[in-house]
Amino acid sequence: MMDVMAEPLEYRLLPHRPPFLFLDRAGRIVRGEGGRGWRLITSAEEWGRAGAGGTFPAILLIESLAQLAAAGNATAAENHGDAGADIRPPLGYLAAIDSFEWLSQVEPGDRVELEVRIERRFGAATRCFAEARVGQRAVAHGVLTFIVDTGAAAPRR
């Protein structure tokens, strides 16, 4: 069993694991404001292989942004205690995708910079503006809304 302190932050904050973990690193996360992270697209992944189209699917880019939003939510002070504590953030569910615009394709070799900014909280729901960039080029942006089930903790893996 892996020591919690030895696990990457994303493993401590999200219930997702490969092959459904689409966030390589959650970088700067500011509670109540949003966060930044990234995802490196490689040719070793199924969609990057010859004959598979070679581009990162748009819906998985949305999932990457949603996972970053969930990691940001899990860093809230009430969701963890001491640094060595067994962090079990509440489960979050992507509830809505609004006004998403696809500006460019994402291909193997691209490092996608992800950013989410909290626009509004209402009850258990949080609305975020989400943006993905490759270098200076915006590749997608839109609004994500997720619901947090504070009564259910994410399972430890």
Q: What does the DSSP assignment read for 85-118? A: S---PEEEEEEEEEEEEE-S---TT-EEEEEEEE
pLDDT tens, position by position, for the chain (157 residues)?
333 334 566 666 777 788 888 898 888 777 778 889 999 998 887 765 555 567 888 999 999 999 988 877 666 534 444 444 555 666 778 999 999 999 999 998 999 999 999 999 888 899 999 999 999 999 999 999 988 876 655 555 5
94 neighbors 116 (Cβ within 8 angstroms): no
Rounded CA separation 68/62 (Å) = 10
Retrieve residue 21's tokens: 């973990």
Task: Give the pLDDT score at 86.
Answer: 53
Ordered structural domains, the chain, with CATH: 4-153 (3.10.129.10)
Task: Give the pLDDT score at 7.
Answer: 54
Task: Give the pLDDT score at 93.
Answer: 87
Helical (H) or strand (E) element with 5? none
Residues in CB range of 77: below 8 A, 6 or more apart? 31
DSSP assignment letter at 4:
G
Rounded CA separation 69/51 (Å) = 32
Q: In Å, how far from its chain's centre is CA 146? A: 12
Full-model pTM: 0.80
Task: Give the pLDDT score at 109.
Answer: 92
63 neighbors 140 (Cβ within 8 angstroms): no
Q: What does the DSSP assignment read for 35-93? A: EEEEEE--TTSGGGSTTTTSS--HHHHHHHHHHHHHHHHHTSGGG--STTS---PEEEE
What number of other Cβ atoms are within 10 A of residue 128's Cβ? 25
